[in-house]
Structure 1
Amino acid sequence: MALRGPKVWLWRWRRNPLKRRADRVEAWVVLGVWTLTVLTGVLAGTSVSRSVEDGLARERVEWRPLVARLAERAPGTATENARVSRAEQVWATARWTAADGSRRSGQLRVPAGSAAGAPVTVWTDSEGRQVTRPVTASQARVRALLIGGVAGLCGAAVPLIAGRALRGRLECRRIDQWDAEWARFGPMWGRTAG
């Protein structure tokens, strides 16, 4: 690891008679890596975000609610209160007819103690398979932004890590060059003209 002096902004781009070719190469590498990091992060984030939002919008269009009937009495006891909390909901088997006319069945969350034959809502895809309730447009936007943000960060990490590795190699090479020059010119400093 090289010794570093005080931070000077844009030092790589300033004129300096001591600046070597390796310093100029490193300046362009840093600029290229940061540009590539930002572009990769933005492009990955926006494309993944759009893809997720489009997929969730497609689900909202294609998935349909159907009325299903409970095949059995739901476990637990029914409460007198008409509002049932999530904690008072249990899994029970329900049956329904898909859009193509086929009979289907599956497990649904229903109020505890619901009677057999009670109507419940089941969400199905275009092929009649049971799915979860589709997310709303605002929930889809939040989910797309979060997933897109993570994808953007992961995409930006690739050129950033590669750039750090390249800069490390350049620095090792520069240190080796300094060592070679020091070995060549260092002994001359002890001579005096006389």
Structure 2
Amino acid sequence: MFWRSLHPKDPLTRRSDLIETLLTATAIVALIALFPVASWLGLRTWSSQSALASRQQADAHQISAVTLVAAPAAAVTSLGYAGDKPLRVDADWAWQGHPHRGPIDVDYGTPKGTTVQTWVDDAGNPTARPLTGIDAQSAAIMVGLSTWLAGLMALAACWGFGRYRIWCSRDAQWDRELARFLGPAGSHR
């Protein structure tokens, strides 16, 4: 059907067949073009996230801190595990010879006096763990894949809606032609 409708001189080819073929060909070309666009966005994300990871790794330093209080044990509620939120307790640490005290993230149930690895900035203040190369790669893959899947779904929706409209038009055309062929409703009895 697809190949036959590419030849408009075929007497069995209708206008709706040509439109359907054009719609399908356009969808195929758009699908092929979608892959390089998604790849380009993924690579751009990888580049920017890698640069951000390098900056964060240069500005963050891992140190050892000692907890001053015990962290409570996680509670299990009827809705599930309550230990999914970060827990912060006071701790002491030294950075460049200067003592520091403040809240740091620990696991539930961490006892008092436990040495915990944490991250600080150049001033010795607690900061988030810096991004890694794996984080940058994961973000790039997710952006590329999400872009491709979103484009694929939009393309499939447009193609499906277009085909539906063509089929409705074709059915209406068949009804008109059958009515014209059969003549008035009571004349063929």
Band the TM-score falls in, shorter-chain normalisation: 0.5 to 0.7
Which TM-score applies when normalising by structure 2? 0.65
Identify the residue that residue 10 of structure 1 maps to in structure 2: 3
2:175 partner SS: helix
Alignment partner of 1:123 out of 108, 115, 119: 119
Identify the residue that residue 178 of structure 1 maps to in structure 2: 174
| RMSD between aligned residues | 3.8
Task: Read off the aligned partner of 1:113 and give its amino acid letter.
Answer: P
Identify the residue that residue 167 of structure 1 maps to in structure 2: 163
Report if the CA contact (8 A) 1:106-1:130 is conserved: no
Offset of 1:121 from its aligned partner?
A: 3.4
Q: Deviation digits for residues 97-134 of structure 1, max 9, x if unmatched?
A: 899x9x77333237943527x5x432356896621342
Count of residue pairs brought into register by the alignment: 165
Identify the residue that residue 32 of structure 1 maps to in structure 2: 26
The 1:75/1:159 distance shift into structure 2, 3 A limit, reads: closer
Offset of 1:70 from its aligned partner?
A: 3.0
Report if the CA contact (8 A) 1:41-1:153 is conserved: no
Offset of 1:160 from its aligned partner?
A: 2.0
Report if the CA contact (8 A) 1:30-1:163 is conserved: yes
Cα distance in 2 for partners of 1:126, 1:160 equals: 51
Offset of 1:178 from its aligned partner?
A: 1.4
The 1:23/1:93 distance shift into structure 2, 3 A limit, reads: same
Cα distance in 2 for partners of 1:146, 1:18 equals: 47
Q: Deviation digits for residues 51-75 of structure 1, max 9, x if unmatched?
A: 1552254124324124353350445
Q: Pairwise mapping of residues 1-194 of structure 1 onto structure 2 (< 5 A)?
A: 10-14=3-7, 16-48=10-42, 50-52=44-46, 54-63=48-57, 64-67=60-63, 69-75=65-71, 92-94=89-91, 105-109=102-106, 112-113=110-111, 115=113, 118=115, 120-124=116-120, 130-135=127-132, 137-138=133-134, 140-187=136-183
Report if the CA contact (8 A) 2:45-2:143 is conserved: no
Which TM-score applies when normalising by structure 1? 0.63
**Any stretches of 5+ residues in structure 1 without a counterpart?**
1-7, 77-89
Cα distance in 1 for partners of 2:120, 2:26 equals: 49
Identify the residue that residue 81 of structure 2 maps to in structure 1: none
1:154 partner SS: helix
Report if the CA contact (8 A) 1:59-1:134 is conserved: yes
1:62 partner SS: helix
Task: Read off the aligned partner of 1:38 and give its amino acid letter.
Answer: I
The 1:95/1:27 distance shift into structure 2, 3 A limit, reads: farther
Offset of 1:169 from its aligned partner?
A: 0.5
The 1:129/1:108 distance shift into structure 2, 3 A limit, reads: closer
Cα distance in 1 for partners of 2:165, 2:32 equals: 22
Cα distance in 2 for partners of 1:126, 1:50 equals: 29
1:19 partner SS: coil
